[in-house]
Structure 1
Amino acid sequence: MWVPRYSDLSQPVYLMIADALEQDIGNGRLAAGDRLPTLKELAESLNVTPGTIGRAYDEAAKRGLVVGEVGRGTFVQQQASVSASSARPGPVPSESDQVDLSIIKPHDAHTADWLRSAINELAESPDLAQVLDYVTEGGHATHKQAGAAWIQRWLPEARWQQVVLTSGAQHGLLVAISSLSKSDDVILCESFCYPGIISLAHSMGRRLRGVAMDEHGLIPEALRAACREHRPALLVCVATHQNPTNSIMPRERREAIAQIAREFDLFIIDDDIYGFLEPAPDYKPLAAYAPERSVYLTSLSKSVLPALRIGYLYAPPQTLSRLSSMVRSSVWMPSPLMAQLASNLINSGKADQLIQVQQNEAAARQQMAREILGQYNIRSQPNSFHIWLELPEPWTSDEFANLARNNGVTVVSGSQFLPERTSATCGVRIALMTPSRQELSFALTKLASLLDSPEPRLFY
């Protein structure tokens, strides 16, 4: 079994292991195709945690030294040339044994290279000067046109004149809720919903009410009953890859919800932040069924890069002035520099290529989750960034999330997704894209072992 020989003891352990790998590949001690020890094997040999080994292998993969194959292991990759002095990230101040499975975001492998190229292109653009100053109300037409091109993947008839730029999807939610409702209005959402909606509604003095769901998402009959009881101003809904339950609403249900919205004069905020995860546009957005009373919301933060804080609202003409005014009141303008970068990625086709990369990565991680947690009731989609784990008795959501955190894995308790804290929940959301595949495998295996604990409360 390969065991690293450290050279620079001043660095964190995971970097010392990655350096040792690089040196041993360079001096011939390791050859292309050699299988490396498993996380557990090497962790036991070095008296460190498997998470540390996972970080080391992930760092080695970023340097192009190794490649991981699901179900087979980690192997030395064929090298054109390897230099122990090649550029690499510097050491971090400290290490953490916590594997974070709490944040839904794209995997960061290779995104730095894509972004570096896009930034270089932006810096060399002859139009750079126009994005370094204030912009007129609503932003540059070219940025709206790029946003329309992005939205046309799902709403083919989208016109750029009906696009409003925002500083990301969360800002888009704030703009839409503020513009289309007033203090003390009732806003409806799914009975499990994205926590950002909960915080926004509470901070703006709106009354949030959850509508019952099943495995296909929000139930139309429950929506009709809620409309009769509350006379709401808005419905905020995630119809595709719902967060956290992963449900996808079938066409008939989308049509029914649109009809109910017309019946009760209800406006819809169609949060389609995860629509890109479907390989083909098999599902029309909710906004396609009620375009006259829907604001369609999307962004690039989940599909391309979290730091790319540009979102797009597509709205009916009668709402555009209110939405634009709220953008101006809240942030004055989304960064035109950021908007230009987003536009370049969209117009060049690089955003589409990054989507394909993320879909493929998500599919591999979903397969891993099914292999490790398949004996439990999990809700997933083939290309989703997360799973929803329904806990077996006698677990509760908070109980299991706390135990997982105490054992080095961070997941999100189902209680965080309740718009109304009326009952206990028995589920947790597990995001799959943040760690390396090796770290993910270790973390999911750890969660499976905790689920098998015979007396949960004894371990809490």
Structure 2
Amino acid sequence: MWTPETLAASGPKYVALAHAIAEAARSGTLLPGARLPPRRALAARLGMNLSTVSKAYDLAAEMGIVAGEVGRGTFVRMLSVPERMPWPKTGGADALDMSSNFPFPSAANDELRLAFEALGSLPNAADLLRYHPNSAHPSHLAAGAAWVRDLGVEAAPERLLITAGAIHGVFVSLLAVARAGDLVLLEEMTSPAIIGACRALGLRIGAVPLDVGGLRPDALEAMVKRERPRALVVVPNLQNPTLAVMPAERRRQVVEIARQHGFILIEDDVYGPLLRQPDRPPPLAAMAPERTCFCTSLSKSVAPGLRIGFLLMPASLRADALNAIRVSTWMTSPLLGQIAANWILDGTAARLCERQRAIIRRRQEMARQILGEFDIVTDDAALHLLLKLPEPWRAGQFSAHMQQQGVAVLPSSEMSADPGGRQNLVRLSLCTIDSEAALQSALTACRTVLRGG
């Protein structure tokens, strides 16, 4: 009968047991489909109350680690994708959501009303309801070329592809570049969506260490000398979650390693638009267009529900990427594409991005005032901050405590590309909550829990 080797000494026992179950599942000690011991039997073995073990099993089920079947027991689930993808909460006790990394959702209300009016006045509005050759309207591609040009990448409109956001661009790039069983390198801490995309495609994941400057070229070179990766997915601007902005010289080193060892770079620049031009080093795609898939979108900088992204592929991979778009979504919505194109070309997107920057600055300052006594990483252009937990806290334990306070946060286990990673971090997203008063309450709750209250 499985029993945990150790349990965290601090915090509720049921939380410690739930996280021991999760760790055993991630490490392979408990394989998918394994049946957990009956609750009463495990309670007797551990000297716990039955109610404590029951609460632990329930929490493990909520985390997506196990599933109960009436009359049969509790079984470990297949962890082929992250246990819980962050998503905005819609009410109830868990309504204060700092786990989902989205921009302020209500910054474009007036602009959206005007956008719909503009759609209705188009002489060819019905064209927006048709399928389009090459999966995109030429005017939308022209607007996309202007958007990526502002990010430092020159591209003819006909070379671009339109995706349903940057993460769809990453997914399409992976579909075009790699096959099940191939090795793809990720930053050791990254977006759960990127990890989930790789796992869903059956790709092997290698985790490249990070430091304050982002991905470490020395560690990357050591890894590619041992194995032959098909691609590297990298977030060089406001890296999620560390907030590192990779210096220009380090970017050149990464490009040189990719050229020497023949792998593809997938550059996710979804946060780049939030950085002002002087603070934004040249993209990898500008340094190595022949081997870089460049992904960006408006979703993190303008409006989260405007699911329009732009993808620039090496010429040799464009046809494969277009096929991947057709396989995964056929094409993005021309209606959304028209709104995005109008906003880019008439300056609305730039104004909304500047509005998001102002909101971010206020909220980052609020977070520093409330959590400044703790070890936090912040940036006035970033949608989130990174909290390095003090001892004896563990990320999963802290997340469970915050959930009890009605606040959702994202623990490091859900951002770790390395199943054995032991980073003790929590990401706190600052812009998903509409009300600044509610955000202040959520941050204050974090402070209270950290202080032991």
TM-score bracket for the superposition, by shorter chain length: 0.7 to 0.9
Equivalent position of 2:357 in the other structure: 359
Equivalent position of 1:382 in the other structure: 380
SS of 1:308's partner is coil
Equivalent position of 2:446 in the other structure: 447
Bigger mean CA deviation after superposition, 101-110 or 427-436 = 101-110
In structure 2, what is the Cα distance between the partners aligned to 1:270 and 1:191? 15
Return closer, same or farther for 1:395/1:285 CA change in 2, 3 Å cut-off. same
Equivalent position of 1:131 in the other structure: 128
In structure 1, what is the Cα distance between the partners aligned to 2:149 and 2:266? 17
Distance apart, 1:95 and its partner CA:
5.2
The one of 414, 417, 425 equivalent to 2:415 is 417
In structure 1, what is the Cα distance between the partners aligned to 2:115 and 2:204? 42
Alignment of 1:268 with 2:265, yes or no, is yes
Distance apart, 1:151 and its partner CA:
0.5
Distance apart, 1:127 and its partner CA:
2.7
Equivalent position of 1:173 in the other structure: 170
Indicate conservation of the 8 Å contact 1:194/1:244, yes or no.
Answer: yes
Equivalent position of 1:313 in the other structure: 311
Indicate conservation of the 8 Å contact 1:189/1:211, yes or no.
Answer: yes
Q: How does 1:209-358 map to 2 (within 5 A)?
A: 209-281=206-278, 282-358=280-356
SS of 2:162's partner is strand
Distance apart, 1:138 and its partner CA:
3.6
Q: Deviations over 1:99-131 (max 9, x none)?
A: 111111111234222111111111111231221
In structure 1, what is the Cα distance between the partners aligned to 2:175 and 2:366? 41
Equivalent position of 1:100 in the other structure: 97
In structure 1, what is the Cα distance between the partners aligned to 2:322 and 2:436? 42
In structure 1, what is the Cα distance between the partners aligned to 2:116 and 2:93? 31
Q: Larger radius of gyration, structure 1 or 2?
A: 1
Equivalent position of 2:82 in the other structure: none
SS of 2:385's partner is strand
In structure 1, what is the Cα distance between the partners aligned to 2:102 and 2:180? 32
Distance apart, 1:316 and its partner CA:
2.0
Distance apart, 1:326 and its partner CA:
1.1
Gaps of 5+ in 1: 1-92, 455-460
Indicate conservation of the 8 Å contact 1:100/1:410, yes or no.
Answer: yes
Q: Deviations over 1:227-253 (max 9, x none)?
A: 112210000000011111111111111
Q: Deviations over 1:184-240 (max 9, x none)?
A: 100001000111111111111100111000111100000001111221000000001
Equivalent position of 1:205 in the other structure: 202
SS of 1:351's partner is helix
In structure 2, what is the Cα distance between the partners aligned to 1:136 and 1:346? 22
The one of 135, 151, 154 equivalent to 1:154 is 151
In structure 2, what is the Cα distance between the partners aligned to 1:229 and 1:97? 45
Return closer, same or farther for 1:94/1:161 CA change in 2, 3 Å cut-off. closer
- Report the number of matched residues: 362
Equivalent position of 1:431 in the other structure: 429
Return closer, same or farther for 1:445/1:176 CA change in 2, 3 Å cut-off. same
Q: Deviations over 1:319-367 (max 9, x none)?
A: 1111111111221111112211111111111000000000011001111
Equivalent position of 1:24 in the other structure: none
Equivalent position of 1:113 in the other structure: 110
Distance apart, 1:97 and its partner CA:
6.1
Distance apart, 1:173 and its partner CA:
1.5
Indicate conservation of the 8 Å contact 1:194/1:243, yes or no.
Answer: yes
Bigger mean CA deviation after superposition, 434-443 or 219-228 = 434-443
Indicate conservation of the 8 Å contact 1:396/1:425, yes or no.
Answer: no
Return closer, same or farther for 1:94/1:157 CA change in 2, 3 Å cut-off. closer
Return closer, same or farther for 1:394/1:158 CA change in 2, 3 Å cut-off. same
Return closer, same or farther for 1:97/1:316 CA change in 2, 3 Å cut-off. closer
Indicate conservation of the 8 Å contact 2:232/2:266, yes or no.
Answer: yes
Bigger mean CA deviation after superposition, 356-365 or 114-123 = 114-123
Which 4+ runs in 1 deviate beyond 6 A? Answer: none
Distance apart, 1:428 and its partner CA:
0.2
SS of 1:197's partner is helix
Indicate conservation of the 8 Å contact 1:396/1:424, yes or no.
Answer: no
In structure 1, what is the Cα distance between the partners aligned to 2:407 and 2:275? 28
Indicate conservation of the 8 Å contact 2:101/2:383, yes or no.
Answer: yes
Distance apart, 1:94 and its partner CA:
6.8
Return closer, same or farther for 1:393/1:267 CA change in 2, 3 Å cut-off. same
In structure 1, what is the Cα distance between the partners aligned to 2:338 and 2:366? 37
Equivalent position of 1:11 in the other structure: none
Return closer, same or farther for 1:139/1:109 CA change in 2, 3 Å cut-off. closer
In structure 2, what is the Cα distance between the partners aligned to 1:211 and 1:96? 37
Distance apart, 1:370 and its partner CA:
0.9
Bigger mean CA deviation after superposition, 262-271 or 432-441 = 432-441
The one of 377, 382, 394 equivalent to 2:392 is 394
The one of 149, 161, 164 equivalent to 2:161 is 164
In structure 2, what is the Cα distance between the partners aligned to 1:180 and 1:95? 42
Q: How does 1:20-35 map to 2 (within 5 A)?
A: none
Distance apart, 1:309 and its partner CA:
1.2
In structure 2, what is the Cα distance between the partners aligned to 1:283 and 1:179? 27
In structure 1, what is the Cα distance between the partners aligned to 2:410 and 2:264? 30
In structure 2, what is the Cα distance between the partners aligned to 1:341 and 1:359? 21
Distance apart, 1:96 and its partner CA:
4.2
Indicate conservation of the 8 Å contact 2:183/2:205, yes or no.
Answer: yes
Indicate conservation of the 8 Å contact 1:98/1:405, yes or no.
Answer: no
In structure 2, what is the Cα distance between the partners aligned to 1:110 and 1:424? 37
